[in-house]
Structure 1
Amino acid sequence: MNVINVLKERGFIAQMTHEDEIIELFDKEKVTFYIGFDPTADSLHVGHFLGMMVMAHMQRAGHRPICLVGGGTGTIGDPSGKSDMRRMLTDEVIQHNCDCFKKQMQRFIDFSDDKAFIVNNGDWLRNLNYIELLRSVGTHFTVNRMLAAECYKQRMEKGLTFLEFNYMIMQAYDFWELNNRYNCKLEMGGDDQWSNIIAGVELIRRKESKPAFGLTFTLLTTSEGKKMGKTESGALWLDAEKTSPYEFYQYWRNVNDADVEKCLSLLTFLPMDEVRRLGALKDQEINEAKKVLAFEVTKLIHGEEEALKAEEAAKALFSGQGNLENAPTIEITKADIGAKLLDVLTRASVFASKGEGRRLITQGGLSINNERVNSIELEIAENMFTDNTALIRKGKKNYFRLVIVEK
C-alpha cells in the first residue's frame, strides 16, 4: 500500500499541495522528505511525537527522512500559533537543545547507512549574506501575500516584529537548501505550518522549475478541539527527567473515551483492525483499550521495561495488585518529621505553589493513607508511616509514595 494511503487511513493527513502528484511520486520512487523541529526546549514534547510517528511510518515504507533541527531558525522563533513573541535563546542553549533532540529521535528513526539524516539549519542560515539573500530569494515573495498567511494574522494586532516576519523566508530557504543538497522533494509539518510549507514549495518551483511538495498532518487535539499533551505541571515531555514514565503512562490511561481510537491510530503501530476493535469498546470495557494505549505509547517513548514498571505501579495504586515501588516516590528524612505536609509536598513539586496546595486541601482534594487532609497546618507524624511508607493522593488519580530514607 502507498504510504500516503497508510497515513490517510490512520488519520494523519490534514492538507496536501498537489495530492495526485504526491501519490504518483510515492508510487514510483523512494522519496526524501523532511520535518523541522525548532529547539525551544531541551526535550521534545508530545506534540513533536506525532511528527516522529509520521517519519517512522514513512521510513518503514522505504522513504528517507531528514530531521531538521533549527539551530538557525531557533534564533528567530516561529510566530505560528503564538500571540506573543517567543523568548530569545542564546546560541549555547540552542545547541544544547539540538543535541538533546538527536538522542530522542533515535528511538524512532534508523540513522544507520544514510537511511535518515539529522541536519541543523544553522549550518547554512548563519552564514547567509543578507544582500545575496534578498536578491536570490526575496524577489519570490510578496509582502501582501505573506501578511495574508494565517501564521502572521494572530500577531498583527499586538505587533509583528520584522525579526519574526523573516521566519517564513528562512523556512522556505531551508526547503530549497535541502532540495539542492539531498534532492528533498517533500516538506511535512503540523497543520499550523501550512503557510510556511507552501512558501518553500513555491520557492523551489519558481526558482528551480522543479517539482516540490508539501503535506501537513493533523494537530494532536481532543474530541473537543483542545490541544493534547498539557498536564497540571505543564507540557507532556518525552524526557523521563521532565515527565516520568509513570506520569506519561497515566496521561494516556486517563484520556477521554472519545479520544482513545484516535490516539491508538496516531500514536501506536497497532494494526488498524485492532485499533478499530479497541476504539469500539464501550462503558467499562473502554478501560482495557486505554491500558493498551498507555502501555504502547509509553513503550515507544521510554522502552518496554519502563512501560511495564508504569503498568505495575498503576495496578498497585488503583487495584491493590502489582509493585508499588514503581509508583512516583517522594523521599524525606527523619528530620522532616514534624514539618508541615503542605511544605514538604510543595518542595517536592507535587504542588506548583503553596497557594495551589492550600486550595486543594481546602476543597478536600488531598489525602494521606486514604484519609482526607482537613488542615493546611497538618504536620508529618511517624504514625502515618508503615514500613517507612505513606501513600499520598492528590485529586482522584494522582498518587505518590512518601518514603522515609536514611541520609
Structure 2
Amino acid sequence: MTHVLDDLDARGLIAHSTERDALRTELSGGSIAFYVGFDPSAPSLHIGNLLQLLTARRLQLAGHRPLILVGGSTGLIGDPKETGERVMNPKEVVAEWVQRIRDQVSRYVDLDGEHAATVVNNLDWTQEINVLDFLRDVGKHFPVNRMLDRQVVSTRVESGISYTEFSYVLLQSLDYLELHRRYGCVLQTGGSDQWGNITAGVELVRRADGDRVHAMATPLITKADGTKFGKTESGTVWIDPELTSPYAFYQSWIQAEDVKVGEYLKQFTFLGVDEVDALMTEHSERPGARAAQRRLASEVTRIVHGDAETDAAEQASAALFGRGELAALPESTLRAALSEAGLVPMAADDTVLDALVRTELVESLSAGRRAVRDGGAYVNNERVTDPDLPLAKAGLLHERYGVLRKGKRSVAGVEAH
C-alpha cells in the first residue's frame, strides 16, 4: 500500500515539510491528530482553500484524524499581507463568516467514524486569555529578530505595520500549542504562503512544552505564467454557489491550460496517479478534445457541488456550444451560464444583427451581416439566415433569453425585456 507521504509527493502536494524521515515515522506509527486552519476573511472559502481541505481528506482516508480550525480570533486580526494593512471587519460580521465556513468545511471530511474530524474555533481559547498571561506564556518565546526575518513582515516594517498584524504569528502559533495540548495534535498542514507561521507554531510547542511536532505545506497553485490559479475575469472562484454559480465554477476548471491540467487533476481530484497519467497520454494525442479539462471540471465540481449541479453544468456547457438541447435547461442554469458568458439586456424588437454587435460577437454591423451571410451566426443553436429578424421571432428561451453564437466557440447571451 502506498504511504500517504509518497502519494502526496506523487501529486505534487508537498512544497515544504519539517524533517521528512521523522514525519514519515510519525505517520506510520498509527493514527495521529493533525490540523489545518482557515481564517474567515470572506463569507466563503475559495479554491485555494479547497486544496487544503482535499489534502486533509487524503490524510483522513490514510487513517489520521483532522482538526479543522476556523479562526474566530485570528480572523478578527488578519495575517499581514505585503500590500498594506488589512481593514478589520466588525466582530459580528466575522462571527457570521465563522459559521458559514464551519458549515462549508464540514462537508469535506467525515465527522463520524473511527477517524472522525473535529471542527474547532480558536476564539474558544483566546478569548479566555488575559493580556499579561499572553505576553508571559506566549510572547516570551518569540525573539523579535526572528519575527522580523519573515519576508512579509520585513517588507511591511519599511512601509509601516501595526503591532496588531505584527503579532498575528503569536496567535496562530498558540493554536498549534492549544491543539497539541487538547487533542494531541502533532502535525499542521497549510499553504506554502503560511510556512513562516506554521514553523513558528512548531517552535512554540518545542519551547513551551519540550515536544517535537511536525509541519507540511502545499505549493502555491499557479497558472503557466506564474500568476495565482483561482482568479477569473469575474473575480475569485468561491466554493459557495451563491458567490460563484456551479456553472461558473465548472467553467473555471474547463479553462485549465494544457500544461497545467495534469497537475490540477492530481492535486484536486481523487483519481489515481496512474489514471491521471493515462488520461494525460490520451490528452497529448488529442489535445483538441480537451478530455483532461472536461474530466477535471467534472470531478472537482462533483466534489464541491454534487452530482445534480455538475450534470446541469455539463449539459449547459454542451448546449451553449451546439452539442445539446438548450430548451431542456432549467432557467436558473441557463441564466447562470449566460451570465458567465456575458448577458446583455435588449429589447424584444431588437434584431439579431443588433444583438451580435451589442454582445461584441462581431465588431460592426457589416461584420455581423457577413457572419450571417457566411453561415456562422446562430441564435439558440439555430443558424441565422436573416440578420434583421427581431429577437422575439427568433425563439427566446423561457420567453426572454437568447443564446448567440459566432462560429464554434464564441458565445454570448441576451435578455429581452
Structures share a fold, TM > 0.5?
yes
2:160 maps to 159
- Cross-structure match for 1:375: none
> Which residues of 2 match residues 302-317 of structure 1 at below 5 A?
302-317=305-320
Structure 1 residue 11, shift from structure 2 partner: 0.8
1: distance between equivalents of 2:396 and 2:134? 69
Shift in alpha-carbon separation, 1:218–1:151, aligned structure 2, 3 A: same
Instruction: Say which of 290, 296, 314 aligns to 2:293.
Output: 290
Q: 1:6: which partner in 2?
A: 7
Q: Which residue of 2 aligns with 1:149?
A: 150
1:96 aligns with 2:93: no
Q: Please say if 1:17 is aligned against 2:18.
A: yes
- Give a deviation string over 1:119-145, Cα, whole Å, max 9, x none: 111111122211111111112111111
> 3-state DSSP class of the match of 1:319?
coil
Which residue identity lines up with residue 224 of structure 2 in the other structure?
Answer: S
CA contact (8 A) 1:253 1:291 kept: yes
1:212 matched to 2:224: no
Matched, 1:329 2:335: yes
Q: Residues 83 and 154 of structure 1 are in contact (CA less than 8 Å); yes or no, is this contact kept in structure 2?
A: no
Following TM superposition, by how much is the alpha carbon of 1:213 offset from its aligned partner in structure 2, in angstroms? 1.0
Structure 1 residues 395 and 111: alpha-carbon distance in aligned structure 2, compared to 1, 3 A threshold: farther
Instruction: State whether structure 2 residue 288 is matched by structure 1 residue 318.
Output: no
Question: Matched residue of 2:15: which SS?
Answer: strand
Structure 1 Cα separation of the partners of residues 299 and 325 of structure 2 = 19
Of the three residues 366, 369, 385, the one matched with 2:379 is 369
Match in the other structure for 1:77: 78
Please give the secondary structure, in 1, of the residue aligned with 2:88.
coil
Residue pair 1:257, 1:286 contacting (<8 A) in 2 also: no
Question: Counterpart of 1:186?
Answer: 187
What SS does structure 1 have at the residue aligned with 2:290?
A: helix
- Give how far 1:2 is off: 2.0
Distance in 2, matches of 1:260 and 1:3, equals 22
Q: Name the TM-score, length of structure 2 as normaliser.
A: 0.83
For 2:109, the equivalent position in structure 1 comes to 109
Structure 1 unaligned regions, length at least 5: 346-356, 372-379
Q: Find the structure with the greater CA-based Rg.
A: 2
Provide the aligned length of Structure 1 versus Structure 2.
Answer: 380
* 1:69–1:392 Cα change, 3 Å: farther
Question: Is 1:390 aligned with 2:410?
Answer: no
Matched AA of 1:320:
R
CA drift at 1:286: 5.5
Tell me how far 1:212 sits from its aligned partner. Answer: 1.0
Distance 1:91 1:396, change over 3 A: farther
Q: 1:197 to 1:296 in 2, by over 3 A?
A: same
Give the TM-score normalised by structure 1.
Answer: 0.85
2:201, 2:16 → 1: CA distance?
A: 15
One-letter identity of the residue aligned with 2:392: E
Deviations 1:17-44 (A, max 9, x none): 1211100000112110111100011111
CA distance in 2, matches of 1:156, 1:196: 17
- SS of the aligned residue for 1:68 comes to strand
Report the alpha carbon displacement of residue 168 of structure 1 after superposing the two structures with TM. 0.4
Q: Once the two structures are aligned, what percentage of the paired residues are identical?
A: 37
Which stretches in structure 2 are left out of the alignment for 5+ residues?
A: 339-344, 369-376, 382-389
